[in-house]
Chain A
Amino acid sequence: MASNVTRRLLGYGLKAWVLAVYVILFTPIVVMVLFSFDGSPIPIYPLDNLTTQWYSQLFGAYYGDYIAPLLNSLQVALVTSVIATILGGMGGFAISRYEFTGSSLYPFVLATPAMIPPLITGFGMLAFFQQTLGLQMSKFTVVFGHVAMTMPFAAFIVAGKLGPEEELERAARDLGANYVQVIREVTVPVLGPALVASLLLTFTISFGESAMVFILSGSDTLLPVALDQRFRAGISPRYNAISTIVVVITFGLFTVAEAVRQYFGE
């Protein structure tokens, strides 16, 4: 029957499609990781002369060019994630738990920074900081920008988890738990993963953001700027090495996230 044939084709086609998508998504990264061990100074096909010299160079002579900016970026991301999670967490609480003047508009207000291109927000902050406040740009100013940008995500992650949690709290209280017990047994296990997820997401967004970094980092060099500068000088094998390090960090973070989630028994 024709439609049986169609059905079968669709089935195989679907799997093939999904496979193709994943392959296309990951090939650049896989190739890049492989080529970080390529011996030739210019990463050209084929892959030969396996070596780790690029990595040693990164930590040696080229430290200032790559590792230092990487560390700056990590610092910024870390500080951003903490502040954004705290502020965003409060926002999340406010969204899911409380009613107050303007609480129907509140979620939209919190969501706006995520909608406006970071470039524009960054520009605005540059104007504000430099012209109005006379500040110097540095990695701290980047933090201000990133926190604004990532706060919405933190807020909605926390709000999402807290909503259903309220019922659990009531149930626990109904069963006789006192205030402290409720917090310990109900709130923390739910809030924990939410906070961790928020920390990770905001960290990642901050770490990967480039427009604000370009505008707001001033004298400090963060990774996107460093890579951009180096790239304009020509393709370098050390890219692949630093990029591979970034990939490892990212995957490492996710593994941590999974471990934490398992721990809290999601």
Chain B
Amino acid sequence: MSVETEPGETTGVAQRLRAVPERTRGALVALPPVAYLAVFFAIPLLTILSFSVRVQQNLQMTNALTLDHYATVLTSETFRGALFYSVRIAVITTAITLVVGLPVSYYLALKADDRFRNVLLFLVIAPLWINFFVRSYAMIQLGSPQGFINGFLTSVGLIGEPLRWLVYSQPAVIFGLASLYLPLMVLPLYAMLRQLDEAWLEAAQDLGAGPLRTHREVTLSAALPGMILGGLFVFLLSLGNQAVPRILGGAMNPTYSETILLQLEGSVAWPTAAAASGVMMAFVVLVLVGVFNVFDMEELF
């Protein structure tokens, strides 16, 4: 079949393809991804949900249904404590990334030179790229009692005893999560702030707003959709992350994800873990629905 044709005409194969109505073509293209997800995502999730309501006997799932597992999870101190702990960490992490990330995004969007900007953007994204584990270990080395920071501070005489809370503690977990997910906050904020017209800032000034007030009124309002999207990402991902707490958190207070993982590793009591997962899923859905209902997300798309 000849490939060179008149402008506007199509080749044999292409012609046949084009003969198929658009709706069908669309469905054909859209199908494989969805099919894959149906098999490898939807079914697994449904499997968990199914496990979470079944009775387990002798390591086998029976067909008897029960809500006991959910009751166990929801009343268990371990799970409830872990859930609160996880949510608390996620909230603090989100707040920190917001406070830290906003000035950085502002600077990148409005103040940096063009060439500089690309480099800086890359550097912000780079941490996302480097394996979580690698960075967490790096932090441990840095902050452990025998580590770099303590060694340095001791040698210059600033402290007498090594600081114990730099690693294997809640602050360490928060720090790890925040530095890991900071790019996820910076990028949406950056995208929104790029659209900020400096004239708005000048207009606000001209109308009587001092430097701080101007930023409050203009910059924050303009960045808001980015803050919401970024906040959502950081919150959900912090909630679900298990690598960072596992390494940096020590054995003390496991997060919710860690608890589930421990269940999986330690025993074959899958239904409980399944119920715990079900609770987590419900929580995620609630958060998503809540956020999308409260905020108008149109400006993002």
Chain A positions within 8 Å of B, measured between CB atoms, are 3, 6-7, 10, 14-15, 17-18, 21-22, 24-29, 31-32, 35, 42-46, 87-88, 90-91, 93-94, 97-101, 103, 106, 109-110, 112-113, 115-121, 123-128, 131-132, 144-145, 147-148, 151, 155, 173, 176-180, 204, 207-211, 214-215, 223-224, 227-228, 231, 235, 239-240, 243, 246-247, 250-251, 253-254, 258
A250 vs B239: C-alpha distance when bound (angstroms): 26
B295 within 8 A of A: no
A10 vs B205: C-alpha distance when bound (angstroms): 15
> What's the tally of chain B residues with a CB closer than 8 Å to chain A?
95
Interface centre among B104, B148, B242, B257 (most CB of A within 10 A): B148
Q: What's the minimum C-beta distance from A91 to chain B, rounded to whole angstroms?
A: 4
B281 within 8 A of A: yes
Instruction: Mark contacts of B24-48 with chain A using CB atoms, 8 A cut-off: 1 yes-contact digit, 0 otherwise.
Output: 1111011011101100110111111
Residues A120 and B141 in contact in the complex (CB < 8 Å), given A112-B41, A210-B242, A223-B131: no
B280 within 8 A of A: yes
**Residues on A with beta carbons closer than 8 Å to the beta carbon of B246:** 228
Residues A243 and B138 in contact in the complex (CB < 8 Å), given A45-B147, A87-B33: yes
B64 within 8 A of A: no
Q: Is the CB of A18 within 8 A of B131?
A: no
Of the residues B123, B134, B146, B260, contact of A119 by C-beta under 8 Å: B260
Q: Is the CB of B47 within 8 A of A128?
A: yes
Residues A204 and B129 in contact in the complex (CB < 8 Å), given A120-B240, A121-B41, A147-B36: yes
Q: Is the CB of A124 within 8 A of B138?
A: no
B250 within 8 A of A: no
Q: Which residue of B lies closest to A111 (CB)?
A: B288
**Residues on A with beta carbons closer than 8 Å to the beta carbon of B22:** 98-99
Of the residues A10, A42, A117, A235, contact of B280 by C-beta under 8 Å: A117
